[in-house]
Every structure is written in C-alpha cells, then in structure tokens.
A = this chain, B = another copy of it.
Amino acid sequence: MGGVASPLEIGVTLVSGSTEHTSEDALSALVGLVEADLEACNRVIVARMDSPVALIPQLAAHIVAAGGKRLRPLLTLASARLCGYPDQPNAARHVDLAACVEFIHTATLLHDDVVDESQLRRGLASANAVFGNKASVLVGDFLFARAFQLMVDDGSLRVLAILSKAAATIAEGEVLQLVTQNDLSTTEARYLEVVQGKTAALFAAACQIGAVVAGRPEPEETALSTYGMKLGIAFQLVDDALDYVADQATLGKTIGDDFREGKITLPVLVAFLAGDAQEKAFWQRTVEALEQTDDDLDQAMRLIADHGAIGVTLESAQRFVQDAKDALMVFPDSPIRRALCEVADYTVQRLR
C-alpha cells in the first residue's frame, strides 16, 4: 500500500486534476467560473473522508486523488451559481452538497470496480486491485453513509429525498446492467434505461440540488434536472463508444473492458443488428458466451467501424446534448449558462 497519497497531499492535486474524459477546454471554462467553490469542495472532501480507521482515508484518497475531473460536484456548484446562490462567506451549502455528490459517485465507482473486476481506473491501478475487493466494498459503504451524514448536517429534506432516490436509481441501473449483460436481445430502450440509472440519475440530481439550495421554483429545478439527465446519457453513450475506439493512453482506462465483460452497449447493439449471420455468430460467441480469443477485440472494433456504429452512437449522444442545452434556456444568458452548454457540447466532441 506504499505510495498512497495522504489526504493532505490530495488537497493539492484535487484542484488541477481534470484530465479524464471531457475536453479540458470546456471544463476549464466552467472550473474557472466556480474555482473558489471547487477548492472549498475539495477541502470538504478531504476533511469528511477522514476516519480513525486509517485504511478508510487511505483507500478513499487513492480514488479521490486519482485524477477525477470532479464533473458531478462541478455541476452542483455551477447549477447553484446559475440559480443565483449568493456568493457570501457563510453561504457554503452548495459546497457541502457538491462533496456529497462526489462521495456518492466515489462509492459507486468503488463498488463498480469490484463488480467489474477492473484492474485500472483512470489509467491507474483501481482501488480493488491495490487494497482488495473487501476493503473497496466497505469503504464504498462508508463514503455512502458519510454522504448522508453531510446531507443531514445540511438539513434539507428535499435534498435528502433527491439524492436518496438517485442512489436507489443508480443501484437499480447497475442491477439492470448486470441482468442485460451477455444478452444480445437487449433492446436499445432497455440499454437507455441502464444508462439513465447507472450514470444519468446522479448527473440529474447533482444539477437539481443546485436549484434547491438557491431556493428556486420548480420549473428551474426541473430544467436543471433535465439538463443533468440528458448530459449524463450523452456522457455515457460517448463513454461506451470510446471503449471501442480510443487507445488506452488517451482514454486513461483499459480499452475493450466492456467487450471483455460482455456489456451490451449501443455500439455493439448497432453492429450486431446490422450484421450478417456470421457476424451475429461472432457477437454471440464473444459477448454472450464470453468465449474470446486475443484477436476478437480487433475484430469487434472492425465490425463496429464497418457498420458505422460509432457514428450512430454519437448521433444519439448529440441529440441528448441538444436536449440538455435546450433545457437550460429557461435561464437568462450568462457566462455560467454558456459554460454549461459548452460542457454539453464537448461531451460529444471529445470523440471527434
């Protein structure tokens, strides 16, 4: 367990650590607008993931410091500011709740990596690979509980309702993904249900609670929730495409993970449905029966390219991006609104 960053060291790396999926340019514009908030949020994260049981902050630091882009807490902070949450020294509810959102996200990452038996996360050894599955499950539980303690400290039952529902929806989405895994009869609608649950529900909640802390009326809550939901779906669609096109160095994760696990994503569904009998047999052998040889990933990528499945996936993502941006139009034009629209655009552009 050597080389693990201490919580104090993380404080330094957190702020600049936005290197993963979404284009840095679009994110830096948004980060620039809420920079002080994000720094405060990182301090809350470090302070609240502490525990007398030293392994907890050690393991949490490993994943929290591993170069995550803080996209979800950023959305909470930016949404609160978009809704006019006051910029005063004693107004920090949005900061605490942004930390909450990151804790819930981190907990699901820890459990995901156990479930997926992942060895890499953002290009580094995953927590389960370093600390073992047991510790990852339990520290995930701790962070989840800690998130709820933070919400209770905040004191809003509305926020608690939104985030506890999101947490249940995430778990439902993950279980549904497990059920559809290795099943090529999965429909696109069912795939989108998985994506909405496992990814987009937390994006939606992260945005919505920004409106709640700012005390905005329901139409603005709904608008931000819709923005987050559509953005989250687009984000996951692009992620699923990246698993069949990006190389490991730029993506920061092992390419072909989804393929090796037999996850049924849109690129696979498109290529499978458009394929001839021989190609269908290939997919049945590789992602349903999980009988794979070394050359199969290359062949999968070829078939996906031949049938334009990446393009189809991106077009779908682009439609969700447009919906996301449209939802924000209830708010007057502002630098924050423009930055949120840019983040949505770059979600897709990171692949083009």
Q: Which of B52, B135, B170 lies in contact with A172, CB distance below 8 A?
A: B52
The number of residues on chain A lying at the interface, defined by a beta carbon within 8 Å of a beta carbon of chain B, is 41
Whole-angstrom distance between the Cβ of A290 and the nearest chain B Cβ = 14
Q: Is A8 an interface residue (CB 8 A)?
A: no
- Given known pairs A137-B114, A138-B111, the reply for A146 and B168 (CB within 8 Å) is yes
A255 to B331, CA, bound (A): 63
Contact A148–B172 (Cβ < 8 Å): no
Give every chain B residue within 8 A of A178 (Cβ-Cβ): 55, 134-135, 138
One complex includes copies of this chain to the number of: 2
Contact B175–A53 (Cβ < 8 Å): yes
> Considering residues A55, A133, A142, A171, which has the most beta carbons from chain B within 10 angstroms of its beta carbon?
A171
Contact A171–B141 (Cβ < 8 Å): yes
Q: Which of B108, B138, B171 lies in contact with A115, CB distance below 8 A?
A: B138
Q: Which residues of A contact B (CB under 8 A)?
A: 51-53, 55-56, 107-108, 111, 114-115, 133-135, 137-139, 141-142, 144-146, 148-149, 151-152, 155, 157, 160-161, 164-165, 167-168, 170-172, 174-176, 178-179
Query: Could you pull out 27 A-B pairs where Cβ atoms are within 8 angstroms?
Result: A51-B172, A51-B175, A52-B172, A53-B172, A53-B175, A55-B175, A108-B141, A111-B138, A111-B141, A114-B133, A115-B133, A115-B138, A135-B175, A135-B178, A137-B137, A138-B174, A141-B174, A142-B168, A144-B167, A145-B167, A145-B168, A149-B165, A151-B160, A152-B160, A152-B164, A157-B157, A160-B160
